[in-house]
Structure 1
């Protein structure tokens, strides 16, 4: 090896390659060789990025990695977070969602002269990348981008930017436009005509006062565990259907055959509807709780809901001990308060679903200090080629 050669040995949390000497190199892959003059020799784990917008588009950060290196990155993120808290666990091979399967996304739109640009923002910038192609969005979502540019060309003001939230639901594509658009009868008729022409499931406008449906020919639902659940506009949905299935499989394995389960941060019921037996579902978002309960009532499932802020009012030890298993699926901040209560509980099994290895590891340490064992962790790469890492972990007492 030349004296000035420094090989890339891993990928850091933000996606840079890290050399043996600790140097961070943007867009480098494990096995690449970096020389003293800054030049780089590609290694065995580098691939040609499939998308023409990479690496400018911030929607992806890791398209230059092959699947083996991307999977290793996911494992390293989880392993590093756990080691930072003094924990060790069996980490399984990651599940990777295929390209072009993302069923929800929030894009941005802005006017530039007579044209409207629509896409993700550039990495570490507010500059908007106008998408001509996308290797992560489901084809049904990407097919709407060009028509949406035409609609927004007549609706957007001369300056400013709006967010465009897209989601695949049972009836087709659900669209929420966040921001101020044109007013008056002509603008309203144009929105309705667009929704009809493209057979949207729903078209809503949220001008900071909440989403208002402007077109909804029938109730919008998302099927979870075989049950059609009412879908509030802009509600949380797992990024890919197959990634959701991988998380559900991990949760089922973790909770086993417990006859009564508490699903905390339950959302619309992604896990509640996938489980047999009695389920108590707690969620802080009121619309989600109402949708979950309505769906459970319609099919007579033994799911009992509570509108509860689990950050301010976590389940107590006495409440937790009524169940045979607990499921946690908190937002990125984790569940510090609830983890503290779990540490003192005697419930035999816990499934923890996370989208942030750092907050997960912090909470896992608290739970383990209470006498639980972290049995295994299953990473899930739903956000293909991004630095976003999801996982499901199993704890037992």
Structure 2
């Protein structure tokens, strides 16, 4: 009978949401490749199972794959990409070894806080609003996790009972950039508490969003992040790659995919993660829809980069415009670059480096490019979000 439990049914892969899947197609929570599913539902551990390092696993929604070793985790990242390509009837190209960010290396994170008698701070449980109050964390950079305890004391008077708030932390050049959203920080007492907290913990910046937009309360020096050797102004809540080593892996793959191109268009450029390193050897056009990011990139890349404030979903570059460049870099959000990919399919540039955080929308756009005569040469998976099901990649396309 399809789906029935089979004696000695081996677990062969990890599904998109983290369940193990047996050879007969049975999904088993918290199973790892190499485990064996018995006919009574028990799972016999196999060679790719490891002891989860964190006491909060598997309750905490921050991690779903702490029970698998690095070999199985890397295979999962590659399998997600290959499956997405097959769904679009595309053959998978050469897959580079996956880059895995090490534990405790996340430099950007969004946590939740709630006062239920006392303040709890952490990630939500999977598919739940309940917060796991973190006593330890094996993904956050130690500097970020060290702030959790002091934040519980700070937020106590600022949170109504049963009200949740968001805590966004980023490691910038000057220290931790902290943004608190959904807190009641009005009045002299709250203002003094925030200032004292920022001073005591040497924050780079403290910003509060009570529902009317972000308001910076503390910033002794302009907050920056270094990209391609340039200090770039970081807007409050601005996007930064999750880990420094993951960023380096993405940049190295993009540079390899672009090759010796002398002119490059970097589309969805953000603050210049790729544009600034590429500008060391090429003329670069950087296009981005977020005004704050464009202004920051213009200031940091003055004389090296032409920055264009442009909504590439509503106003993608035409094929004729893109054909003026030797290479194009694409780094769209999770929705992908459907409109821009259609124009790129007809462009005559030589190379494309596609950076994606969503294998499904990447595969959709890759199908458009391949149909337009592009060849998908290789893919480099990147696992910045250690032990999660989040997959990132760099893909290299060339004209057939």
TM-score of the two chains, using structure 2 as the length reference = 0.97
1:318 to 308, 317, 320: 320
2:231 to 204, 228, 233: 228
Q: CA deviation at 1:315?
A: 0.4
Count matched residues: 392
Partner of 2:66: 63
In the alignment, structure 1 residue 288 sits paired with structure 2 residue 293: yes
Partner of 2:148: 145
Deviations 1:254-275 (A, max 9, x none): 1111111000000000000111
CA contact (8 A) 1:9 1:31 kept: yes
Deviations 1:339-377 (A, max 9, x none): 000011111100000000000000000001000000000
2:109 to 105, 109, 113: 105
Deviations 1:199-232 (A, max 9, x none): 0000000123321110000000000001000000
In the alignment, structure 1 residue 129 sits paired with structure 2 residue 132: yes
In the alignment, structure 1 residue 334 sits paired with structure 2 residue 339: no
Partner of 2:358: 356
Looking at structure 1, the residues matched to 227 and 165 of structure 2 have their Cα atoms a distance apart, in angstroms, of: 30
Looking at structure 1, the residues matched to 224 and 6 of structure 2 have their Cα atoms a distance apart, in angstroms, of: 61
CA contact (8 A) 2:185 2:210 kept: no
Q: CA deviation at 1:3?
A: 6.4
Q: CA deviation at 1:146?
A: 0.3
Looking at structure 2, the residues matched to 208 and 336 of structure 1 have their Cα atoms a distance apart, in angstroms, of: 32
Deviations 1:170-194 (A, max 9, x none): 0000000011313211111100000
SS at match of 2:179: strand
CA contact (8 A) 1:157 1:182 kept: no
Q: CA deviation at 1:124?
A: 1.6
Looking at structure 1, the residues matched to 183 and 72 of structure 2 have their Cα atoms a distance apart, in angstroms, of: 43
Partner of 1:44: 47
SS at match of 1:154: helix
122-131 or 166-175: bigger deviation: 122-131
CA contact (8 A) 2:51 2:67 kept: yes
SS at match of 2:180: strand
Q: CA deviation at 1:310?
A: 0.2
Q: How does 1:1-397 map to 2 (within 5 A)?
A: 4-88=7-91, 89-113=93-117, 115-275=118-278, 276-297=281-302, 300=303, 302-397=304-399
Change (3 A) 1:3 1:309: closer
- Structure 1 outlier segments of 4+, above 4 Å: none
SS at match of 1:82: helix
SS at match of 2:349: coil
SS at match of 1:100: coil
CA contact (8 A) 1:251 1:327 kept: yes
Deviations 1:144-181 (A, max 9, x none): 00001110012212231100000000000000001131
RMSD: 1.0
Looking at structure 2, the residues matched to 350 and 143 of structure 1 have their Cα atoms a distance apart, in angstroms, of: 41
Unmatched segments (≥5 aa) in structure 1: none
CA contact (8 A) 1:156 1:182 kept: no
Looking at structure 1, the residues matched to 391 and 364 of structure 2 have their Cα atoms a distance apart, in angstroms, of: 16
